[in-house]
Amino acid sequence: MQTRRQKVRQAAIDEIKSLAWDIANKKGLEAVTINAITNRMGMTSPAFYSYFKSRDALMRSLLFDTYDLYQKTMETARDSISEENVGDRIMILLLTYRKWAVTHPAAFSFFAGRLTPGFYPPDEKIVKMSEKAFFIWQSAFYKAWEKGVLELSDHVLKLPKLYKMELKKFSDNLNMKIPTELIHIIIHFPILAHGLVSIELTGRYGYLIDFGQLYKQKIIHELKQIGIEPNLTSLKL
């Protein structure tokens, strides 16, 4: 049970992080500075340092929050679909990824943008969190392949030798004992979703009334190439 002092301290930490997210969502991660936060809170810089040793420490904490939020959001969406409906599970993950990114643009920037100046490269803990996040995609596509729903099309089976070597390195680093062609599929779809969302959030194709429809139709088209046709009725799309 927290003491009163601990509760007051946690409330201050939560307020600092809340303000940091507000600034990041409105102006971008690079706008998150100690001065920007302390000015809005009426707090001195020394007081800030009693909660976070540096700006990097704050950004690191926000990154941890990002992975936690991402993990919970994606797992909740996945688990809302029966394990037997492997194609629908993949579709709901892809749709949820976009919804999460559009709703939390600053958090998405940790995935999409360059590292904020002064923010150190990911350490072992962050790498592990990243691998855990990627496993959501890996397991979904693997189960679809295992059940025979996902088909490796001819163009996938004929991937260039050098590219297959790179896929092998990727799978070895993550200790993934599955065909390199399947690795290609597992990588392809998150990258596709990631790219489309990045375009949307930068305001490109702003003349489109509903970018979500372009995203959905592109995803459906790509899934059909590997034999997956999601049940749009059950997904209420």
| CB 108, CB 134: distance < 8 Å | no
Q: How far is CA 31 from the centre of its chain?
A: 21
* Ranges 97-106, 109-118, 147-156, 215-224: which has the least confidence: 109-118
* pLDDT bucket at 114, cuts 50 / 70 / 90: low
Average pLDDT over residues 135-162: 91
Reading the block at residue 44, the tokens are: 């001195």
Q: What are the residue ranges spanned by the domains of the chain?
A: 1-52, 55-224
User: How does DSSP classify residue 119?
Assistant: P
Share of the chain above pLDDT 70, in %: 92
Average pLDDT over residues 91-117: 85
Q: Cα separation of 186 and 179, whole Å?
A: 11
| CB 66, CB 113: distance < 8 Å | no
The angle subtended at Cα 196 by Cα 195 and Cα 200, nearest 5°, is: 115
Q: Which CATH class is domain 1-52?
A: mainly alpha
Entry pTM: 0.87
Which CATH code is given to the segment(s) 55-224? 1.10.357.10
For 38, list phi and psi in degrees, rounded to 5: -65, -35
Q: What is the mean pLDDT of the chain?
A: 88
Q: Cα separation of 201 and 188, whole Å?
A: 20
